[in-house]
């Protein structure tokens, strides 16, 4: 809001303070999108029919840093697959999500393990991204009831601050505070909270690029409030939307292939 009022002060006459204030408030009200528009904008940018991406994940636990490269595939909201390409120790490790089920293939053990229960809260490959995070969809409009609570400048860009409360207990995070880029409709920052109100994680998403007509953050940094000093950075180096994917990629046969 401050940004809008400042901008207006440079173009409206200064001779009528009351008129200036009234015009500024009217401009601000007209410019502010609704929470529904913002959530639908997020969904439009973050959802896809099919996707293929190569990513590098850097995990820093405060003592040492590990770098992993992975190839990911996605089809709609309910199917995704991940294959680790390097380092050699992790090469061949795979994960598969189908609906609300998640499996992990460990090549060293030559076995498939189903991830469920308390294991869902563990960090994926020791990162700050939990398996539960991987299961979460990107249908913000359906999952949350939201309110625009203000506006802020982040990196010189106007963002709308949105408080989102989960509509039911099946949603991974009961509350999110999101800073949504006014122009891009991408979440530059998210704070994720427990039901108690305790901050759990902070996600920062930057390097927004247009790929296949969608504005997509190519760099994400995650910090876990319960793991002081740790951080995980995921950088997307190759990304394609609308690619043809074989059905077998989203089957348990693919895990051990």
pLDDT digit string, tens, across residues 175-201: 999 999 999 999 999 999 999 999 999
Q: Answer yes or no: is pLDDT of 168 > 80.
A: yes
pLDDT confidence of residue 35: 95
Quote the domain boundaries for residue 208.
34-45+138-240
pLDDT value of position 174: 95
Least confident of 22-31, 116-125, 165-174: 22-31
224 and 117 in one domain? no
Q: Does residue 14 belong to any structural domain of this protein? A: no
Same domain, residue pair 40 and 150? yes
Query: For 33-47, what is each residue's pLDDT tens digit?
Result: 999 999 999 898 888
Tell me, yes or no, whether 22 lies in a domain. Answer: no
**pLDDT tops 90 at residue 151:** yes
What does the chain come to in residues?
257
Are residues 38 and 165 located together in one domain of the fold?
yes
Average pLDDT, the chain: 86
Going by pLDDT thresholds of 50, 70 and 90, the confidence category of residue 30 is: very low
Are both 178 and 70 inside the same structural domain? Answer: no
pLDDT of res. 137: 64
User: Do both 83 and 187 map to the same domain?
Assistant: no
Average pLDDT in the 155-180 region? Answer: 94
The CATH number for 192's domain is 2.50.20.10
In a domain, 1, yes or no: no
Co-location of 70 and 193 in the same domain = no
Quick check: 17 pLDDT over 70?
no
pLDDT (average), residues 53-71: 95
- Is 130's pLDDT higher than 50? yes
Statement to judge: residues 55 and 128 lie in one domain: yes
Same domain, 186 and 66: no
The whole-number average pLDDT for the span 129-148 is: 85
**Whether the predicted model's global pTM rises above the 0.85 cut:** no
| pLDDT over 50 at 12, yes or no | no
Confidence of residue 77 (pLDDT cuts 50, 70, 90): confident
Q: Over range 6-25, report the average pLDDT.
A: 36
Q: Would 10 be classed as within a structural domain?
A: no
* Residue 212 shares a structural domain with residue 225: yes
Tell me if 190 is assigned to some domain.
Answer: yes
At residue 78, the pLDDT reads 87
**More confident call, 173 vs 10:** 173
Same domain, 41 and 147: yes
Same structural domain for residues 84 and 162? Answer: no
- 152 and 166 assigned to the same domain: yes
What local confidence, expressed as pLDDT, does residue 144 receive? Answer: 94
Count of domains forming the chain: 2
Q: Is residue 17 part of a domain?
A: no
């Amino acid at each position: 809001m401050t940004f809008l009022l400042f901008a207006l002060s440079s173009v409206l006459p200064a001779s009528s303070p009351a008129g200036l204030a009234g015009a500024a408030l009217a401009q601000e009200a007209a410019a502010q999108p609704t929470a529904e528009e913002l959530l639908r904008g997020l969904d439009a940018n973050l959802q896809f029919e099919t996707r293929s991406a190569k990513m590098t994940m850097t995990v820093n636990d405060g003592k040492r840093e590990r770098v992993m490269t992975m190839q990911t595939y996605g089809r709609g909201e309910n199917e995704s697959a991940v294959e680790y390409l390097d380092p050699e120790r992790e090469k061949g490790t795979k994960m598969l999500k189908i609906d609300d089920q998640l499996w992990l293939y460990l090549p060293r053990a030559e076995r498939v393990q189903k991830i469920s229960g308390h294991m869902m809260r563990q960090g994926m490959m020791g990162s700050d991204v939990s398996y539960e995070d991987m299961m979460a969809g990107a249908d913000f409009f359906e999952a949350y009831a939201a309110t625009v609570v203000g506006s802020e400048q982040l990196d010189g860009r106007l963002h709308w601050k949105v408080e989102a409360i989960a509509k039911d207990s099946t949603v991974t995070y009961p509350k999110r505070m999101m800073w949504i880029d006014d122009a891009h409709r991408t979440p530059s920052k998210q704070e994720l909270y427990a039901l108690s109100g305790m901050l759990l994680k902070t996600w920062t998403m930057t390097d927004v690029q247009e790929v296949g007509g969608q504005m997509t953050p190519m760099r994400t940094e995650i910090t876990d409030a319960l793991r002081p000093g740790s951080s995980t950075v995921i950088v997307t180096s190759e990304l394609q939307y609308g690619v043809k994917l074989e059905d077998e990629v989203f089957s348990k046969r693919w895990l051990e292939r």
